[in-house]
Amino acid sequence: MTRPLPRDPMIQQLIAQARRSQLSRRTLMSGAGLGAAALTLAACATDDGAAPTPAEDNSANDKTLNWDNWAAYIDEDDDGNYPTLVAFEEETGIKVNYSVAVDDNNSYYGKVKDQLALGQDIGADLACLTDWMVGRLIRFGYVQEFDQANLPNAKNLTPSLQNPDFDPGRTLSLPWQGGFAGICWNKEKVPGGLESVSDLWKSELKGRVGVLSEMRDTIGLIMLDNGVDISGDWSDDEFNAAMEIFEKQVNDGQIRNIKGNSYLEDLKNEDTLAAICWSGDITVINAEAGDKWEFAIPSAGATLWNDNFVVPIGSQRKANAEALMNYYYEPEVAAEVAAWVNYITPVVGAQEAAMAIDPELAENQMIFPNEDTLSNAFIFRTLSGAEESTYGSAFQAVVLGS
């Protein structure tokens, strides 16, 4: 769910205090106290020196590639093979070691941040992480700049994603998939369904609700439910109000689990009957375990995000990584992946290619959303470094105390 924090005495004392007395969120929000500082240090790295030097590329002599990704995030056949990856290996001669190593952004970062800071190989030549985390890695100089000559298919990137504030011109990152965070429920156990995030707090669901350990999705959805435009100019007051709701539902036992991708197992074994969840995941578990769950964009709106390819600073196989990224930006390949993962593809031409696979697929709003669908989806605004530390610390204090 969440990576274990270092055994720093200050941090351990903070966790114990949180579990005994449910640490005051407002104290954390004010940034006061030794505990808040300790938790912030545990949750976020700081830019305390010059960026490390990129590793020398050895792709010409080493035809392998290690790729870290999230669960249920690539096409897979009944035998557990990844058809598009198999085709890439046959086409290029590059052997790909694909690892489902990302459960959430913070836990992954916690495992690799010390190596990144030293410019060392983290064991991955490609990692797919969410916009805000990619922004952090870029800010700290932890990723390598692309050789655009190796990425001719990057021209197929949808125009709206070509110049994000964390990477103008996309010289250091390239989107893999995007999606919505919304709500889901077990159709057999919750036959009336759900319409809003507030419906998760109904008494009949007490102790059977799951939420995501990604702060921007869980708190973002609660803020939207409170009437806040999370893409706009909001402040501590709006964040505090959402945190009060979140903390109350945790303390009252309404929320059972706070997890990353492993929340899917809780849905499958019915530990949770309803959840804040990611859109494509529900299609996948319905295919795997029976058509038992429903996903919906809440009435107040969904969060909208993208996960992005990055090449970690210590990778010695950057050209191999660029070859793979270029391959997945072929519209036909992107359509094949989209047909399985049911997330929003960033590749122009993929919708037309999807028509050849399944015309119904090409009309799926979870993969190829139209303007009406996108009008009810909101991107959590980019946080400053100070906001990221303060808000992240407040959220993690509740997670750790749960």
**Is residue 295 left, alpha or beta, with left meaning phi > 0 and alpha meaning psi from -120 to 50?**
beta
Residue 287 is predicted with a pLDDT of: 85
**pLDDT at residue 264, as a whole number:** 92
Q: What is the rounded CA–CA span in Å between residue 196 and residue 204? A: 15
The answer to whether 391 touches 246, Cβ cutoff 8 Å, is: no
What local confidence, expressed as pLDDT, does residue 51 receive?
87
DSSP code of residue 387: H
Q: What is the pLDDT of residue 223?
A: 98
Residue 96 parent element (H or E)? strand 95-102
The confidence score (pLDDT) of residue 48 equals: 52
d(CA 25, CA 103): 25
Two structure tokens written together for 196 = 């809003």
User: What tokens does 257 get?
Assistant: 């689990």
Q: What does the alpha-carbon distance between residue 75 and residue 96 come to, in Å, rounded to a whole number? A: 14
- For every residue of 202-216, DSSP letters joined together read -GGGTT-EEEES-HH
Per-residue confidence (pLDDT) for residue 222, from 0 to 100? 98
Query: Tokens representing 165?
Result: 């504030």
Mean pLDDT of successive 10-residue stretches along the chain, which has 402 residues: 34 36 34 36 50 96 98 93 98 98 95 97 98 96 98 97 95 97 98 97 98 97 98 96 98 96 93 96 88 96 97 98 98 96 96 94 93 94 92 95 82
State both tokens at 277. Answer: 């969840």
**Confidence at residue 261, expressed as pLDDT on a 0 to 100 scale:** 87
